[in-house]
Structure 1
Amino acid sequence: MLRLGIVLFPGFQMMNLSVLTVFEFANRVADSPLYDLVLLSEDGGAVQGSSGFAVTTQKFDDSRFDTLIVVGDNDGVLSPPAVIEFLKRSAPTVRRIGSTCTGAFNLAEAGLLAGRRATTHWYFAEKMRRDYPDVKMEEDRIFIIDGPVWTSAGMSACVDLALALVEKDAGVEAARVVARQLVLYHRRAGGQSQFSALLDLEPKSDRIQNALNYAKQHLQAELSVEELAGAAHLSPRQFTRTFRAETGQTPAKAVERLRVEAARLMLETGRHGVDVVARETGFGDRERMRRAFLRAFGQPPQAMARTMRNLM
C-alpha cells in the first residue's frame, strides 16, 4: 500500500480535498487498497479550511511517505515556515511530491521547482513568475509532471492530477473506472488548456448556450447557421443577430474556436495523426485546420503536435 500524505495549513482551499475522493474510490475499485491516506499539518489536530470548518490532521513527524501533496489557498500566500521546512525535509525521501492550485508556491519556496516546469492557478501565474523567476511557469496546463514533481492548475484541476496519479500507480483502466464512478465526463490530459472556448464566449441566454453545446457535440457536422438556429429554436436571422450580441462573435468564428480547441486536445494526447484530427473535429482537411491553427495559435498543428510530444 502506498502511503500518501496531504499537507494542510490554516485557510487551505477546501476544494483541494476532493483529491481524497479520487484516492478513496481508487481503493474501492482495486482488488486491495492502493493508498493509505494521511492528512498532515504543523501541529496536528483540527485545521480550519477556507469554508470555515475544520478537518482532523496528524502532526508532522519523520514518518515515511510514498507521495506528498501540498494543497493551495484562495490568495496565493505562503504557508507557515514549518510547512516549507517539512517539504524541504521530506522531498529527498519520497517518490513523488506535488501541489494542487496555489500549493505550487510552497514547493517553489522550498526550492523544489527551481529549473522545473510547473503550473498553478492561472490567476496567480504572473505572481509566480515574478516571485520565482527560476520556475518554468506554464499556466496554460491542467497539470504538469517534471520528474518526481507534480503540479496542478487551480480548483477542479486537482481531480485531474489525482486521476493521473491513480493511472500511474494502477493503470489506465483503473483511472477510467474511478472517473466513471465520480461521474466525470472524462479525465482531462495534463497538457489541456486551463481555458475553455465555451467559458470565454459566455452567452447570456439558454438558447445560445444550447446552440454552443450542440455545436461542441456535433463538430463533425457542417454546423450551418440554419442548423445552429434550429438547436436554439430561433430563425436563422434572429439567431445570428442574438448570437453576435451575446458573444461578440459570429457563429462561424465561434464554431472555429470550438473546433480548434477540440483539435488541440486530440493532438496533445498524441494518439491521432493530423489528418484524423482534422476529420474528427469537422475541419475536413489538414489545410483548413492549418489555417485555423495559425489564426488561433500562430503555429501549424504539426508544430504543436511535435511540441506536445517533446513535453511528454
Structure 2
Amino acid sequence: MLTNVAALVWDGVAPFELGVVCEAFGIDRSDEDLPVMDFAVAGVAPGPVETSVGFTIDVHHGLDRVAQADLVAVPAMKRGEPAPPAALEALNAAVERGARVLSVCSGAFALGEAGLLDGRECTTHWRYTDELARRFPLARVVPEVLYVDTGLVITSAGSAAGLDAALHLWRLEYGAAAASKVARRMVVPPQRSGGQAQYIARPVTDCSAETLGPLLTWITEHLSEDLSVETLAKRSHMSARTFARRFRAETGVTPHSWVTSQRVLVAEELLERTQHSVDWIAAEVGFGNAAGLRHHFARSRGVSPQEYRRAFSA
C-alpha cells in the first residue's frame, strides 16, 4: 500500500513539477476521509537546492529519507546536466527493494541515466521524446501518451501529466472514489485521454468536439443502445465513411474506441458502487453479455471485472 512518498531533488529542479508532486501526495486530505501520506522532499544531502528558475529551496532530508519511501518521485530536472551519481544509486536501490519510481516530464532523463528505462516503455514531454530515445536507445519511448506504468517504473509527460500519473496511483491504490476526491480538490478532471490503462474514476467526459459535441453527450447517455458507426453516422446525417473520418479528426480516436472506453468507465463505476451482476452491468453499458464485458474490461484495465470488484467495491 502506498503510504510513504519522497520527492528526490537536486540543483536544477523545476518548481512547478515539484509542486505537482507535493500537491498530489503532500496534502493532508483527512477531512475527506482520504489517507495522509508520509511525505517529504529529499536531496542528495540536506541543504539548499537551486531551482531551474533561480530561487533556492531548503531541503531538510537526505537520501536516508528516500530509502524509506514506497514511492520516489523525480520532478522535471535540467536535461543537459548529469544527475548526481548518489541520486542514481538511490533510484536503483528503490526499485531493487520493490518501491515505485515516478518521473514527471524531464525527470525521465534521470531514470534513463540510472538504467531504469532499459527495456521498458516510457514517456516524457513530447518536445523531448526524440532526445530521450536517442540518449537511451534501450528504452522504448512512447511519445503519444500521458504516462506509462510498467509496474515499478512510472514515467509521465509534461508538467500536468504528472497529475494524471499521480491520480492513476491514487486510483490503483485506493480506488475510484479516492482518486475522484483528490481530482476535485485539485480542480482537474479525473482522467484525460491517453493510451494507458488508467485506474481513475469515471471522468468528466470530453464532449467539446467542434461539431460532434452534442453527439458525444448523447452517446454517454445511451451506452446500452446500438452505437455502431452506421447508426451514429445516420444520426449525424453523414455517410459512415465521412462520419468515421470526422470523428477521428475531432476526437483523435475511432468511434469504436471512444464508445468502448466510455462503456468500460461506466462499468467500472457500477462494479464499485453496486452489487448488480456482471451480466446486468454488461447489458446496462452496452457490451451485451458478461463475456463481452470481461474481454473489454481486461483488455483496458488488466484485470477481470470480478477481480476489480473484489479490490475496490465499497
Counterpart check, 1:271 vs 2:271: no
Quick one: distance in 2 between partners of 1:308 and 1:23?
29
Quick one: distance in 2 between partners of 1:73 and 1:255?
38
In the alignment of these two chains, the number of paired residues is 236
Quick one: distance in 1 between partners of 2:119 and 2:178?
33
CA contact (8 A) 2:147 2:157 kept: yes
Quick one: distance in 1 between partners of 2:34 and 2:245?
50
Residue number in structure 1 paired with 2:35: 33
Residue number in structure 2 paired with 1:6: 7
Counterpart check, 1:218 vs 2:214: yes
1:7-56 CA deviation, whole Å, 9 max, x = no partner?
Answer: 11111122212121122447345536331111111122221212322333
1:163: Cα distance to partner?
Answer: 1.0
1:48-87 CA deviation, whole Å, 9 max, x = no partner?
Answer: 2123223332111274211111122254543222221221
| Structure 1 residues 48-127: aligned runs within 5 Å | 48-57=50-59, 58-61=61-64, 63-73=67-77, 75=79, 77-127=81-131
What are the ranges of 5 or more consecutive residues in structure 1 without an aligned counterpart?
193-211, 223-251, 274-304
- Looking at secondary structure, tell me which structure has more helix per residue: 1
Residue number in structure 2 paired with 1:258: 250
Counterpart check, 1:170 vs 2:166: no
Find the partner of 2:145 among 129, 136, 141: 141
Runs of 4+ in 1 over 6 A off after TM superposition: 252-255, 305-308
C-alpha spacing 1:113/1:33, structure 2 compared with 1 (3 Å): same
The residue matched to 1:61 in structure 2 has which SS? helix
- TM normalised by structure 1 equals 0.64
CA contact (8 A) 2:7 2:21 kept: no
- TM normalised by structure 2 equals 0.64
Quick one: distance in 2 between partners of 1:262 and 1:56?
49
Quick one: distance in 2 between partners of 1:148 and 1:22?
18
Residue number in structure 2 paired with 1:230: none
CA contact (8 A) 1:3 1:37 kept: yes
Quick one: distance in 2 between partners of 1:129 and 1:91?
22
Quick one: distance in 2 between partners of 1:87 and 1:174?
28
C-alpha spacing 1:59/1:266, structure 2 compared with 1 (3 Å): farther
| Structure 1 residues 266-305: aligned runs within 5 Å | 267=260, 271=264
Quick one: distance in 2 between partners of 1:129 and 1:5?
27
Quick one: distance in 1 between partners of 2:82 and 2:12?
11
1:272-292 CA deviation, whole Å, 9 max, x = no partner?
Answer: 79xxxxxxxxxxxxxxxxxxx
Quick one: distance in 1 between partners of 2:135 and 2:298?
27
C-alpha spacing 1:124/1:32, structure 2 compared with 1 (3 Å): closer
Residue number in structure 2 paired with 1:207: none
Residue number in structure 2 paired with 1:22: 24
C-alpha spacing 1:256/1:167, structure 2 compared with 1 (3 Å): closer
CA contact (8 A) 1:76 1:102 kept: no
CA contact (8 A) 1:29 1:174 kept: no
Quick one: distance in 2 between partners of 1:221 and 1:2?
38
Quick one: distance in 1 between partners of 2:142 and 2:246?
25
CA contact (8 A) 1:23 1:166 kept: no
Letter in 2 for 1:39: V
Range with greater deviation from structure 2 (156-165 or 182-191): 182-191
